[in-house]
Chain A
């Protein structure tokens, strides 16, 4: 069976890696990673705005974003994908590729989850930092920009990496609307072979495992070093070392 899997990888590695790229759209693992990276890149600034809106005193900013976050967390991602699949072409009036549909969905979805992470990071800093910033003559935006966010985001790097891992796992759902990603490529391989579905999907699971496990491992190492560094800077008692940072990531 292992021999079968090696043969499949030897025969189809290019399809799994980049899809039918020179002759068709970019696909496979490359597409999975590009889609995840773009989603996080777009979701990141949006999530900071969401977090600031949810922490704002103005109910006009707070309420709609809170509602959006609760809505996004209460509805299956699959439902949101089907919504975008139908709404994005309707709103733009154009024939939108499934990649863009999936990207739009993931940006909205991950912004909602990432905004909770950023909010937790800001709240964890405590009000003293903001007070100190204001006392030094910064306005609200200045204090946010130069004092709060740099610290909060630095502390949040491990959580952002785990959100990236969930995004990679979320991209598999693009399968439903035929996004040419790694899962799609594997099912293409399966359709060509027909006789070895177990081997094909086991290869798929192993590839996802290898990527996500490596990133999770890296995030955990980084988390430990950040906790240690921050503890060292402020000479906290060692009890502060064990306080786990709250990683809010969606399982998929």
Chain B
């Protein structure tokens, strides 16, 4: 620490290339798992709201599993466990195509879907039932009432927890390092191993994570502001 020197890392093209690759992988993992989680969450929500009798307990069990088992253990179960049970053709294909990142996306995405679907459910539940009755009275069918009346309000109600959980997902993408995905934390550890500049390497990693977390939070705050009904009433 006596000779603190950030340029020893940032000035070295090899290290900056590793950092950039790490950031890129982190964002690929984040974007893929976020999209997967959101799509699955909407599916889980539809299942829960549907008249299908087993939908509710099925989704409740899914959510309960993913909320009560540590994400790290879920990733390990996928990468060290389920990976080995796959038919050899699939496993070989995955091994060639960056299996670590694929399983990180699957594990994080499945887990995050549980949180997203709960956020959306409480958002939809806080829309007053009169809205549905009014929409039906105006001639909307169930699907179209959901699409144009209930969901827009429900998603807006759910925005604050959705933003919080999006930030959590971004931070949790660092867990992928445990199963060997070459994301940002992995890059930081590699640079530390090569340069012996522990303090500088962790400082750069921390600042990057903090910066991107704040960016995601600001995008969320912007969306909340844009969808605020008080604001559109003024406009």
Contact = CB atoms under 8 A, between A and B. Distances in A.
A75 interface: yes
A22 interface: no
A120 B199 CA distance: 35
B81 to A, nearest CB: 4
A78 B77 contact: no
Interface size class of A (residues with CB under 8 A): 35 or more
Contacts of B82: 198
B210 A71 contact: yes
Interface in A175-193: 175-176, 183, 187, 190
Interface residues of B, number: 42
A17 to B, nearest CB: 17
Contacts of A75: 171, 206, 209-210, 213
Given A78-B174, A175-B72, A201 B80 contact: yes
B1 A90 contact: yes
A213 B172 contact: no
A83 B71 contact: no
A74 B163 CA distance: 13
Interface stretch (A43-51, A124-132, A203-211): A203-211
Interface stretch (B11-19, B61-69, B144-152): B61-69
Interface string B70-91: 1111101100111011000000
A250 B168 contact: yes
Given A201-B77, A251-B115, A208 B68 contact: yes
Given A74-B214, A79-B205, A251 B168 contact: yes
The 3 closest A-B pairs by CB, nearest first: A198-B81, A212-B68, A169-B70
Interface of A: 71, 73-79, 82-83, 86, 90, 165, 168-170, 172-173, 175-176, 183, 187, 190, 197-202, 204-205, 208-209, 212-213, 216, 250-252
Interface of B: 1, 64-65, 67-74, 76-77, 80-82, 84-85, 115, 165, 167-168, 171-175, 177-178, 185, 188-189, 198-199, 202, 205-206, 209-210, 213-214, 217
